Amino acid sequence: MPLKAGDEIPEVALYEMTESGPASVQTSELFSAKKIAVFALPGAFTPTCSKAHLPGFVTKSDELFRLGIDDILCISVNDAWVMSAWGQQQNADRIRMLADGSADFTDAIDMSVDLTAKGMGVRSHRYAMIVDDGTVSWIGIDAPGQFEQSSAESLEKALKGG
């Protein structure tokens, strides 16, 4: 069953690019004692992800921080090099671009989708969530092929109590 409000984030390693190359970061480090906005998507450089999903969070980042978010995380089943390059191309300076290359996190929260028939392999469903000190307080999951519940606007509305 996919992650839902009230669930705790499982302990898994994700990866992000550093000056020394890819480095692992544990979910406990990312989510402990913080209010985090997370969004995940099927793949870096894919059409909806590049034209709407990530750009929406880039545009709304100031407002999300103003509403009490400590960090914004973008997670995709890609490697750290791809996530870093995509973040640079999208001017996502205020968003941590995290790689889940083996889909360990995605599988642990039951958000994986098999897109092998489309040549993409195992990927993530499109979703966004607010995590308070390691516990999901809100989550929006889009149906396959849709982009609405996981938008920056939906997450912002949830932060405002709507």
Q: Is 135 a residue whose pLDDT tops 90?
A: yes
pLDDT at residue 58 in the model: 98
Q: Is 4 a residue whose pLDDT tops 90?
A: yes
Q: Is 121 a residue whose pLDDT tops 70?
A: no
Instruction: Give the separation between CA 76 and CA 155, rounded to whole angstroms.
Output: 18
List, by residue number, the catalytic residues: 49
Question: What would the pLDDT profile of 67-87 be if each residue is shown by its tens digit?
Answer: 999 999 999 999 999 999 999
Q: Is 114 a residue whose pLDDT tops 90?
A: no
In percent, the amount of the chain with pLDDT more than 90 equals 81
Q: Is 145 a residue whose pLDDT tops 90?
A: no
Which residue has better confidence, 36 or 162?
Answer: 36
What b/e sequence results for 5-22 when a residue is b if at least 16 CB atoms lie within 10 Å of its CB, and e otherwise? Answer: eebebeebebbbbeeeee
pLDDT at residue 91 in the model: 96
Q: Is 1 a residue whose pLDDT tops 80?
A: no
The answer to whether residues 138 and 130 touch, using CB atoms and an 8 Å cutoff, is yes
Instruction: Give the separation between CA 133 and CA 47, rounded to whole angstroms.
Output: 32
Instruction: Give the separation between CA 153 and CA 24, rounded to whole angstroms.
Output: 30
State the pLDDT confidence band at 98, using cuts at 50, 70 and 90.
Answer: very high
Task: Note the pTM of the prediction, 2 decimals.
Answer: 0.95
